[in-house]
Structure 1
């Protein structure tokens, strides 16, 4: 099964071009990169962590759409957030608002720093289209 690298201009580019892919398709599975709360042009969304979380999910929706998938195809999510105790309930509010039922399995990890400059949240998805 050949791997297919997914690229869309409707989501932020991989942080270091050539080293990362926005996503990789492996058969019926799509694995996304960790995506920050940045606009497609790479500028970080200002405001609250909820604003950046909404942007992350919109970015990931665009990556899924590039392979004719939607949020309903997401089976696993990993969320990395700074200031875990403060931000965890705020991220959960957006998650409940934006993610369709049945919601995917999820792991949320508190981190001291994220590689994408200026962000406090990063999310990656595994989606299934089978």
Structure 2
């Protein structure tokens, strides 16, 4: 059985906060690393509200998907991590604007902390 694996770097894209690839293509899927609400232009966390933070995460996922030759609209699963689960409804405001119909499968998990002091992080599995 043949297995393919190709790393993807979005340039310009959100800076990696550690030793990982923006994404990896394998067997018709794109596995996108977790993206926090960093502005790719300056590497700083942005957003005052949970909706703004979620929007930036989704924009970062979009940048990486496009660098890999696909679209966030082709997402099959997204995982959302929040440091305060009470922001679920506000996060959904931004999320729903990216997926007005046929949204991907999703999970939302409340966590104690995220990298760089972020409050929202999202990763994705996207069809190529």
| TM-score normalized by the length of structure 1 | 0.90
Contact 1:61 1:70 in 2 (8 A): yes
- In structure 2, the residue matched to 1:45 is 46
Q: Does 1:125 align with 2:127?
A: no
Q: Tell me which stretches of 4 or more aligned residues in structure 1 moved more than 4 Å.
A: none
Structure 2 runs not aligned, ≥5 long: none
Structure-2 residue corresponding to 1:5? 7
* Contact 1:10-1:63 at 8 Å conserved across structures: no
Q: Aligned with 1:124: secondary structure?
A: strand
Determine the structure 2 residue equivalent to 1:74. Answer: 75
Asked if structure 2 preserves the Cα contact closer than 8 Å seen for 1:72 and 1:100, the reply is no
Task: Provide TM-score, normalisation by structure 2.
Answer: 0.91
In structure 1, C-alpha distance between the alignment counterparts of 2:75 and 2:52, rounded to whole Å: 21
- Corresponding residue for residue 20 of structure 2: 20
8 Å Cα contact 1:77/1:104 also seen in 2: yes
Structure 1 residues without counterparts, runs of 5 or longer:
none
Residue 63 (structure 2) pairs with residue 62 (structure 1):
yes
RMSD: 1.2
Deviations 1:12-70 (A, max 9, x none): 12211xx2111000021000111000111311103112111111111100100012211
Q: How many residue pairs end up in the alignment?
A: 125
Measure how far apart 1:101 and its partner are. Answer: 1.9
State the shift of 1:100 in Å. Answer: 4.0
